Amino acid sequence: MAKFRLRMLPFSLVALVGLMASVGTAYSPLADASTASPSPSADVELICHTDNPAECYPKVFQPTHEFQVVHDDQDLPQGLHVRLDVFTGKKEAKINVPDESDPALEGLPVDSSVVIVDRDQPEPDGPSHDQARLPPNAPAYDPAGKIKKPKSADAGEGSAFYRSLTILKKGLDVDGALEMLEDISHDIYYGLKIAEDYDTVHELSCLASSSSSAAGEDNGTAENQATRARLAALTLSSTVQNNPKALAEIERHWPKLSAARCPSSPVPLGEATFTLFPPSPSRSPNHHPADAAALTKARVSLLSGLLKSPALRRAFLASDGPSHLVRLLASSPSTSTSTSTSAADDDEAWAPAQRAAAFLLIDNFLDPDMGATLGEWPTRAQLADGDCAARDGKGGSEEEAVEECLDWHVQRIATKYKGVSDHWSHDLRSKLGKYRTAAAAGAAAQDESRKKLDL
């Protein structure tokens, strides 16, 4: 009903209300209203939401020395003592008395003008406050929310998307399909649609993990493979980034996906997905380090998204995945067989991939402020600096584990770039040092506790 205001009630009506209140319980609604709060004076502007005058109340709140309910459309004078029930939203006010203490707030910490008071605990057999508010048959809480079809998904866009999926799975115009899917996978709706289809995920994973420099291929073919692999990895990366429902779909596919094999590789996808480097460049005289570095960076980006899943992170650790990242950090892969680039150009080409790998390790394993779960990695004991220096001086194969020299490699790189304040090695060294210190303190505490138990 529309709200209207009465500036003054007629005298006869006021007399009638008084007479009805004095008769007795026959007019109990009016009697209750008159005793609940003091009646406003005749010249007070009122707000009425119904035709019943007893339900009107002053436009300007009339305070007393007792708390009274404040209506949402009432104006509050300044200087009142106001309190709010954060559970119900009910607001009450009264005349403010300086230095007045509220017995209900005794013993509670007060460092601002707002005090949060927890309600009494519900009865053991009764529903909680939140449960009482839920309607019957309410759906389960979904932190990701419902992903709605975007308004831009008109017939043309949707048709192009599903046509690209079909083309990709049939291996027709793969390049055109990959470009379209990489562009649209940033949308969480289409990202989820990609992740829901196992065949699409399998095909993209095979392309992303394929070789970019197979022996005997000409330069054009190698470049095409590198571009396809990079676009496929970026598509999957965009699919799972900030899209927990899509990541959950990849996790659901993982048991089948990890055991699957691709036509171009005998290695199961569960292993190939965590292998960052393309084959050794010495096998391809036409190898370009920029192509391999860009592909590796795309694979690191994909890996960063996949590791947000605890199940995929466990699979990554079980497959010795961190060793691939440490090898990437230790030094860029040698391209000495390629005469088209210098060592400096090679280092510059690999710098973005190394930076991405460093922050992947920090965010997922070393920095709890970024959501890392401490204690999962690193776990291997470190070799002495002299042993690591000797091992590095002898070279070493790509397959040789370097995780036992992680600290030495990071320190060496940080020293090399000590004049570059924002180089990734400084942040990695700092986080790694804090991790080692905390791990040592935890181990010492466990030893002390064990000794006390033995005594």
pLDDT mean across residues, the chain: 78
Rounded to whole angstroms, the Cα distance separating 82 from 235 reads: 55
> How large a percentage of the chain has pLDDT more than 90?
38
The model's pLDDT over 362-401, given as tens digits with 9 standing for 90+, comes to 999 999 999 898 999 998 899 999 998 888 776 554 445 5
Per-residue pLDDT, 29: 39
Query: Could you read off the pLDDT of 183-227 as tens digits, one per residue?
Result: 999 999 999 999 999 999 999 999 998 864 443 344 446 678 889
Question: What pLDDT was estimated at residue 332?
Answer: 57
pLDDT band, very low/low/confident/very high, at 311 (cuts 50, 70, 90): very high
Q: How far is CA 366 from the centre of its chain?
A: 17
Do residues 91 and 69 touch, judged by C-beta distance below 8 A? Answer: yes
Indicate if the pLDDT at residue 338 is higher than 80: no
Q: Is the pLDDT of residue 132 over 60?
A: no
pLDDT at 96 over 60: yes
Q: Which of 299, 138, 126 is nearest to 208 (CA)?
A: 299
Angle at 340 between CA 334 and CA 346, to 5 degrees: 40
Closest CA to 233 of 325, 278, 296: 296
The alpha carbon dihedral of 295, 298, 303, 304 has a sign of: positive
Q: Give the C-alpha distances (Å, rounded to integers) separating 421 from 328, 330, 350, 431.
A: 21, 19, 19, 15
Residue that the structure tokens 């690591």 belong to: 388
Q: How far apart are CA 142 and CA 180, in angstroms?
A: 30
The percent of residues above 70 in pLDDT, for the chain, comes to 69
* Helical ranges in 100-208 per DSSP H: 129-133, 155-170, 174-184, 188-196, 198-208
User: pLDDT grade, residue 33 (50/70/90)?
Assistant: very low
Distance of CA 383 to the CA centre of its chain: 36
Question: 378: cis peptide before it, omega within 30°?
Answer: yes
Instruction: List the single range of 43-47, 194-198, 430-434, 441-445 with lowest mean pLDDT.
Output: 43-47
Could you tell me the pTM of the whole model?
Answer: 0.65
Which pLDDT belongs to residue 452? 76
Least confident of 61-70, 239-248, 317-326, 441-450: 441-450
- Give the pLDDT band (50/70/90) at residue 31: very low
Q: What is the DSSP letter of 365?
A: I
| Greatest mean pLDDT range, 47-61, 65-79, 304-318 | 304-318
Q: Which two tokens stand for residue 43?
A: 């010249």
Query: How far is it, in rounded angstroms, from Cα 42 to Cα 169?
Result: 81
Q: Which residue has the tokens 């590789």?
A: 265
Closest CA to 226 of 241, 216, 211, 239: 211
Q: How far is CA 71 from CA 1, 49, 64, 74, 288, in A?
A: 16, 12, 15, 5, 73
pLDDT-derived band at 86, boundaries 50, 70, 90: confident
User: What average pLDDT does the segment 310-324 reach?
Assistant: 92
Higher pLDDT, 336 or 191: 191
pLDDT recorded at residue 11: 38
- pLDDT at residue number 240: 96
